[in-house]
């Protein structure tokens, strides 16, 4: 991710270690995805899925989705726990 905004040059990391909390948000999203995907596999297979029928799709989807959850967790931290506000006037430039 960028360290500064390309439009207004705002530094995203407000203080050292600010985004450590994003690890917890990312963990919450990952566990939620695992539960939903595992439940979907259970529903589709009517409870007859093997161990590897769960593990392979869940692990592969988590590897593919981890960059997205990482970025979303950082954006969540910026919007909800910092004084930074989005200015649509600057975004139009």
**1 assigned to some structural domain:** no
| Residue numbers of the domain that contains 56 | 23-79
- Helical ranges in 1-93 per DSSP H: 21-45, 51-81, 88-91
Eight-state DSSP code of residue 82? S
**38 assigned to some structural domain:** yes
Eight-state DSSP code of residue 55? H
Per-residue confidence in pLDDT tens, the chain, 93 aa: 678 878 777 777 777 887 888 888 889 988 998 899 888 888 888 888 888 888 888 888 888 888 888 888 888 888 888 777 777 776 665
**7 assigned to some structural domain:** no
Q: Count how many domains the chain has.
A: 1
**33 assigned to some structural domain:** yes
Alpha-carbon distance of 30 to 72, in angstroms, equals 12
What pLDDT is recorded for position 15?
78
């Amino acid at each position: 991710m960028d360290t500064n905004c390309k439009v207004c040059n705002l530094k995203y990391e407000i203080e050292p270690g600010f985004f450590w909390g994003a690890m917890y948000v990312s963990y919450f999203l990952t566990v939620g995805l695992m539960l939903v995907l595992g439940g979907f596999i259970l529903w589709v297979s009517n409870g007859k899925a093997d161990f590897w029928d769960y593990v392979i799709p869940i692990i592969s989807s988590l590897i593919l989705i981890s960059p997205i959850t990482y970025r979303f967790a950082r954006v969540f931290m910026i919007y909800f726990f910092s004084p930074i506000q989005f200015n649509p006037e600057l975004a139009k430039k």
